[in-house]
Structure 1
Amino acid sequence: MKKIVAITACPTGIAHTFMAAKALETAGKKLNYDIKVETQGATGIKNKITVQEIADADAVIFAVETKVREEERFKDKIIHKISVKEAIKNAEKAINDALAL
Structure 2
Amino acid sequence: MKDKREPLKKPAHIAAVLRKAIAAYRDGGDGELVKVWELWEGAVGPAIAENTRAAAFRGNLLIVHVSSSTWIHHLHFLKPDLIATINRALGKPLVKEIKFKVGPL
Greater fraction strand: 1
Q: Could you state the TM-score of these two structures normalised by the residue count of structure 2?
A: 0.33
Higher helix share: 2
Bigger radius of gyration, 1 or 2?
A: 2
TM value normalised by structure 1? 0.34
The structure with higher relative contact order (CA 8 Å, sep 6+) is: 1
